[in-house]
Amino acid sequence: MLTNGDVPIALIAPREKLALVRLEEDLSTMRLCQALSAVAHYAPDEEKHIVCDTLTAYYAQESIRRRINLFWMERGVLLVDPNTTYISPLSVLGEGTVVMPNSYLNGATIVGESCRIGPNSVLKNAQLGRGVVVNFSQVYDCTVGDETTVGPFAHLRPGTELGEHVRVGNFVELKNTSVGDGTKISHLTYLGDSDLGERVNVGCGVVTSNYDGKDKHRTIVEDDSFIGCNVNLVPPIKVGRGAYVAAGTTVTEEVPEDALAIGRVHQTHKEGWAARRRTEGRLK
């Protein structure tokens, strides 16, 4: 219930409870609260809006946004530009966290202490530990462990769980993937429906081919493995603990522990071919 002094101005209650009260009576706030088991909240003048179109909806939204931002700034959260920061009423921010401009914390997002969010980041139903950095990235329905760095330009899709001290770099997309502590996925990678162990290094351009046109399959990469650049992992597949996968390899079979997997075409040279092309003007 919203009130102006002792005068009720708005009320939300179950229909069956409202049926028990004769609202046409001159009821005070106290009597209504007792009758409906309601809680009264005072609404200051600047937060009273009649919403009838998109313009009045904007004024109402701005009023709520300012109140939420002030609430967190009073509790030790630094909003570098409160005018471009949007925090859901269901979100929780830890003390010492810095939120940069153009950041959106939607849904039931939980941010730990001493984190850095943004600029230009979107979080929805995300759970971030302590000291997490999310820079120019989007995080949806994910869990991120302490001291992990995300971005810039990373996309964490639902079901992703990152451990502690993980690095997810630029142009990395993760979907329904778990990543162990200390693992690095630095750039230009897609991992879907995957389980990565601890201290794994994933090179540039690695892709899991998790969808076969009908079903999705999981990829497992165990602890201390190394995945080279431009590797295709075709699941269901497992890369054993401490194994290396050479750059350019397409992996279709299980890689044993501590093994080296190489699956690329053998390189050949045609001596003098380039010189002949330049002089003769055609390919041979």
List, in order, residues 6 or more apart from 77 with CB less than 8 Å away.
Answer: 93, 94, 95, 96, 97, 98, 99
Options 187, 217, 266, 269, the catalytic residue: 187
Cα–Cα distance measured from residue 62 to residue 29, given in angstroms and rounded to the nearest whole number: 27
Active-site residue 41, yes or no?
Answer: no
Q: What are phi and psi of 79, to 5 degrees?
A: -105, 105
| CA dihedral of 241, 254, 231, 236, whole degrees rounded to 10 | -110
Among 230, 226, 169, 179, residue whose Cα is nearest residue 204: 230
Cα dihedral sign, 69-73-78-81: positive
Question: What is the CA 249 to chain-centroid distance, rounded?
Answer: 30
Of 155, 158, 133, 135, the residue nearest 145 (C-alpha): 133
- 267: burial class by Cβ within 10 Å (0-12, 13-18, 19+)? exposed
Residue 235 CA to residue 254 CA, distance in Å, equals: 9
Active site residues: 187
